Amino acid sequence: MTAKPKPKRESSSYSIVRVDTVNARGIPVHLWTTSIKRQGVDIVRHFYDGVYGDKPSALLMAEAYRDAAMRLFPPRTQREQSMKVRSSNTSGTSGVQALHKNGKLVAWLATLSIGRDKPRRRYFSVKDHGEERAQQLAIAAREELLREYPDSFATVHPDATASANAHFAHLVAAQRIARDEVAPALDADELKRRLEWLNAWFDALKPRHVHVRISTYTQQQRGHDAILAIISNGGPPSQLKRKTWSLLHASWQDRQVEVWSFIQSSLKELMGAAYVHEFQRLFERHFLASDVQTGFLVRHRLDDPASDYLRSSPPAELQPMLQGFSVPRLPPLQTVSSAD
């Protein structure tokens, strides 16, 4: 059994990874994946070259999605992180733990660990203060450590930090630390709603485009060549149009009328009659000039005027957070070339 090739991954920029792989049916798959984690929620979306027309366009949309997500979903702050009570905690207060020696409680310890900085600790001996008082002192010391430390976002990548500071500075404002407060985190339902609205917006922004590929291949079992036509509008695989024609008793030129008729009927079903006339105007002469060596390949992204409004009009529920944000317009895409 031939081992399935591992996906080839290529980093582009913060949170975006290139994936070039082969699916279960042996068909090459090329995409960019945007992946961000915010408030414990994984925000992941795939941008396929085939859906957006080409590799640069898919990357452009992946970056736009990433940028929108960073304005909608604030990262946790260092203070929020430090306030999480771990399952191993014995005091009920984050950063405060009991220390035992030979099974006997000897002290309470207050600890503050922020990012990569060296942990800060305060030690309170049970022998000096008694059990209850030592615990109280450790809890008070932990609160004092928190007040002394200026809050910041629990981010690693500089782009994530810059975006968080630009859009969520109020979550780490100094006066919050002085009041010993933590800014309320978004609840799970609100996070889910924002993600649904964001994905619905990007679903609506998927471009309308046509991909027509006419090429030849050898039918191994029959021992002769055939023409293969694949026509797609970027929709689900169930909408893909495929057909083959044998070249055993006919040449490429002999089959051109049949192939062109199939192209027209498929495009009419997928895109409508008006587009068939547009496709004929743009590409018929190229098809008639093709031959068995060159094949025929068209990638055509349609210019949809409605998308100009959509790109700068996020769902109403997201507009306060995405004020002034606009998804970039995809560059023109109209190519015709050899199918090889």
- State pLDDT tens for residues 201-224: 999 998 888 999 999 998 777 778
By residue range, what is the domain housing residue 240?
209-303
- Considering the domain boundaries, does residue 313 fall inside one? no
Residue 34: which residues within 8 A CB-CB, separation 6 or more? Answer: 15, 16, 43, 44, 45, 46, 47, 62, 63, 65, 66, 69
Q: Are residues 215 and 171 in the same domain?
A: no
Q: Are residues 117 and 174 in the same domain?
A: yes
Quick one: pLDDT at residue 118? Answer: 79
- Considering the domain boundaries, does residue 55 fall inside one? no
pTM: 0.71
- Considering the domain boundaries, does residue 268 fall inside one? yes
**Sheet with strand 96-101: strands edge to edge:** 96-101, 104-112, 120-125
| Residue 1 CB burial class (10 angstroms; 0-12, 13-18, ≥19) | exposed
- Considering the domain boundaries, does residue 92 fall inside one? yes
Which of 169, 185, 201 is at the close of a domain?
185
Instruction: Specify the number of domains making up the chain.
Output: 2
- Considering the domain boundaries, does residue 245 fall inside one? yes
Q: Are residues 222 and 280 in the same domain?
A: yes
Secondary structure of residue 229 in the 3-state scheme = strand
Nearest Cα to Cα of residue 293 among 242, 248, 251, 232: 251
- 50, 80 in Cβ contact below 8 A? no
Residue 293: which residues within 8 A CB-CB, separation 6 or more? Answer: 338, 340
- Considering the domain boundaries, does residue 310 fall inside one? no
Quick one: pLDDT at residue 228? Answer: 96
Residue for token pair 């027509």: 212
Quick one: pLDDT at residue 25? Answer: 74
Q: Are residues 228 and 296 in the same domain?
A: yes
Q: What residue ranges of the chain have pLDDT lower than 50?
A: 1-2, 175, 177-180
Q: Are residues 84 and 173 in the same domain?
A: yes
Quick one: pLDDT at residue 56? Answer: 92
Which of 286, 303, 320 is at the close of a domain?
303
Residue 272: which residues within 8 A CB-CB, separation 6 or more? Answer: none
Nearest Cα to Cα of residue 35 among 45, 49, 25: 45
Per-residue pLDDT tens over the stretch 82-128: 666 666 666 677 788 888 898 899 899 888 876 667 788 888 998 89
- Considering the domain boundaries, does residue 15 fall inside one? no
Structure tokens given for 253: 């030129």
The whole-angstrom separation of Cα 315 and Cα 190 is 15
Quick one: pLDDT at residue 201? Answer: 96
Residues in the chain: 340
- Considering the domain boundaries, does residue 240 fall inside one? yes
Q: Are residues 236 and 176 in the same domain?
A: no
Q: Are residues 174 and 214 in the same domain?
A: no
Quick one: pLDDT at residue 288? Answer: 95
